[in-house]
Structure 1
Amino acid sequence: MAEERQQVEERRADGRGVVPGEAGRASSSLSAVLRDATREIARALEVVPGNGSFALSHLLRPDDPHALVAVRVLGADALVPYRLAGHVPVPEDSLLVGRVLDAFPSGPGGSEVSRWRHHGLVQAARAVLPTGGGAEAADLRVSRAADIVVPDAAWVREAAPARLPHLAAQLAALAVPGAESSPLGAELDARAADLAYGFEEAVDRGDWRRAAGAGRWLALLPGAPSGPLLDEGTGRIRRGAGDDPWVLLQVTAAHLLRDVRT
């Protein structure tokens, strides 16, 4: 049920699901929460960290049901300002993420993508959130067996080349320093040439979301082709995607990852 709920909420959040009546109004409200949160996270990647400059739990309150779904949809990107831009988390962030993991546990019936997205959020929480003492830390539920096991990534090598940018976009939140040596990163790196080709095709088609997700991974992977492909492509994505906050988040993250590599 949790997996079905996640899939429904993800469809609603990106506008693929329209529900009439009260459910439709709830979907619209969730979409607004998710859009605003994504925009603020993207902005946080571009500002110098400072006191109160960014805190996930100030942006998305732990007692707001929409906030839990928004973090679930964002996945590890909910915490990416702490990973890539040096912002400092607050204890309430652990409470929020703990409630998300409790509400949306990883289950055996989920897809490979959903298992990796859950794993990515768990790993991000372990990397950046406070864990020492207090009720907030106790609520950070990252010690269950399902949360510790690293999902399989062999399925990536069987994916059709045309599908790789789509997979990269779905898993873009996992593209952070160190992920290139994970099983998922290693499989994507082995297909970096296919991913680069798919990135270029997505840019040419104006498929900005797929292109942005693929570009973020290409900025991280050591086997990605060198040259101006990524810079030129992300420039076109930024100009073409307009005010799409998710695309802006991925492009900004890609630039930060490229700077780390160089």
Structure 2
Amino acid sequence: MSPDRSQTAYAESAAGLASRALDALQGIGGTAMVAQHVERAEDPKAALAAIRVVGADLFAPCLLGGAALHPQDAAAVAQSFAVFPPALSPPPPPPEGAAEPWLVAWRDWATAALLARCADPAEPAGPGGADEGLLAPRPSGAPVLADIAQATAAGAGADLADAGSGTRPDATGPGTDWRQWSVRMGQLSTLALPGLAGPVHDAARAAPLALARGATRAVLRRDFPTAARIVRWLALLKAESVPVPLDPAPLVEHLRLHGGGPRLALDVAIAGRLLATETS
């Protein structure tokens, strides 16, 4: 198989698995959706890779829909770690290390932590849980906002003038500005699920305005996948009763109307379910 064909097969398999997860979250379809995805795949290796791409969101039906994790699904997720083992030692966070391996390591940890939690609901995930027994080690660090005081005090509208310009501003200081930071948080959106905790979640709670600005900017740029990923963090914060500077519910509905494929639809559905769990 050519590299291009391999990448296409992986992308198609990930989209198909995201669609199965969305159906399961909505109470559609049967049980063991992950195992069936692998068993029925023309390319089982691509199907196992898809498990790692969709990642922790495969447990959304368990966490947000009340569905029990099927033992065959747990076995399929574990098999994906056996076929595509993560690094024994997690890579350092940027700027010491490259961003992409670090992002993958965080997403793998979230998948492994929620596999343990959903397979054994009595087992906490994250700090205080049995991380040493997980299939992927927990990385260190979180996306760093260059000037959190400015990001949490400034108005959201003043810095949106570049919304249609396509510019990518440079970092200012030891971290990145709110534009790049919010995109990076969006790349870690599979961590925006209940039952996980760590420095990435702490970073989200510390800068809700930066997340709101990032989501608004993405919508204005019509970058709906990025907007949906960032909105998931806002929805999680609101579900935790953390004050947020805008109501994410209208954004969720706006994104739902735009469609955009199963991955976007799953992000939007998860955000909607998080809002439905909001505590008073």
Matched-pair contact (CA < 8 Å) for 1:218–1:224: no
> Counterpart amino acid of 1:153?
G
For the pair 1:147 / 2:164, whether they are aligned, the reply is no
The 2-side partners of 1:65 and 1:71 are apart by 10
Instruction: Provide the TM-score with structure 1 as the length reference.
Output: 0.76
Structure 1 vs Structure 2: percent identity of aligned residues? 25
Shift of 1:243: 3.6
Please give the per-residue CA displacement for 1:27-74, whole angstroms capped at 9, x wherever unaligned.
3222221111111211221227x8x34532122339911111101111
Q: Which of 27, 45, 51 does residue 65 from structure 1 map onto?
A: 45
For the pair 1:106 / 2:87, whether they are aligned, the reply is yes
Q: Which of 244, 248, 262 does residue 225 from structure 1 map onto?
A: 244
Superposition misfits of 4+ residues, deviation over 6 angstroms: none
Give the match for residue 209 of structure 2: 193
Give the match for residue 42 of structure 1: 22
Q: Which of 226, 236, 258 does residue 275 from structure 2 map onto?
A: 258
> Counterpart amino acid of 1:87?
A
Number of equivalenced pairs: 226
Matched-pair contact (CA < 8 Å) for 2:112–2:135: no
For the pair 1:83 / 2:102, whether they are aligned, the reply is no
Shift of 1:144: 5.3
Shift of 1:76: 0.7
User: What SS does structure 2 have at the residue aligned with 1:152?
Assistant: coil
Q: Which of 144, 169, 175 does residue 156 from structure 1 map onto?
A: 144
The 2-side partners of 1:192 and 1:227 are apart by 9
Matched-pair contact (CA < 8 Å) for 1:53–1:87: no
Please give the per-residue CA displacement for 1:11-33, whole angstroms capped at 9, x wherever unaligned.
xxxxxxxxxx7333333222221
Matched-pair contact (CA < 8 Å) for 2:69–2:119: yes
Give the match for residue 174 of structure 1: 191
Matched-pair contact (CA < 8 Å) for 2:183–2:214: no
Unaligned runs of 5+ in 1: 1-20, 132-141
Q: Which of 110, 113, 130 does residue 120 from structure 1 map onto?
A: 110
Instruction: Provide the TM-score with structure 2 as the length reference.
Output: 0.72
> Counterpart amino acid of 2:191?
L
Unaligned runs of 5+ in 2: 92-100, 122-130, 146-174
Give the match for residue 12 of structure 1: none
Q: CA RMSD in A?
A: 2.6
The 5 Å alignment of 1:16-35 reads 22-35=2-15
The 2-side partners of 1:143 and 1:66 are apart by 28
